[in-house]
Amino acid sequence: MSSDRPIMPKGQIVYGEAVYYLTVVACLICIVGPLIALINPDDNVMNPYFTFAAIFQGHSAEEVWMIVAGGFPGGHFWMDNFFTGDGFTQFGLALGCSSAGFALIIAAIVYAMEKIYLYAGFCIFVAVFIFIAASGIVSF
């Protein structure tokens, strides 16, 4: 019975494992980040207590950013604020959202080692699109 099952390519197994573990790590980071923000609220881009108060008062996202942080600092503000709670949380979000891109690069390496160059090329091609989208270069 088990001999009837197709053999899963190693690149697909590695891709699935990489996405799984990167997503788990991203989830753990996104749990720890808000804890850091609440433990040290003044060392954040946005003080969480004032942020929650502004949200519960019914302000829009733009108004909340203006009230609490003096305006939106731009995408990927975590790069300049990595060791703050909200910067660390945004890093976790960015890692989780781009985990497929990193996993595709790993899968491309596996496919290249197995000499399946077409699939390796497809992996790199799609990974480039993911990283371009995640970088904010292209926006709609």
More confident residue, 8 or 110: 110
pLDDT digits (tens, 9 = 90+) for 96-131: 989 999 999 999 999 999 999 999 999 999 999 988
Q: What is the band of 139 on the pLDDT scale with cuts at 50, 70, 90?
A: low
Torsion angle in degrees (nearest 10) through CA of 31, 32, 34, 39 = 140
pLDDT of residue 82: 82
d(CA 96, CA 115): 29
More confident residue, 140 or 50: 50
- Look at residue 1 and tell me whether its pLDDT is greater than 70: no
Q: Tell me what the mean pLDDT of segment 16-25 comes to.
A: 96
Task: Spell out the domain ranges in the chain.
Answer: 8-135
Average pLDDT over residues 21-46: 90
Under a CB-based contact definition with an 8 Å cutoff, are residues 74 and 139 in contact?
A: no
CB of 4 within 8 A of CB of 93?
no
Cβ–Cβ contacts within 10 Å for residue 30, how many? 17
Reported as a single tens digit per residue, the pLDDT across 45-96 is: 888 888 888 899 998 888 888 888 888 887 777 778 788 888 888 899 889 9
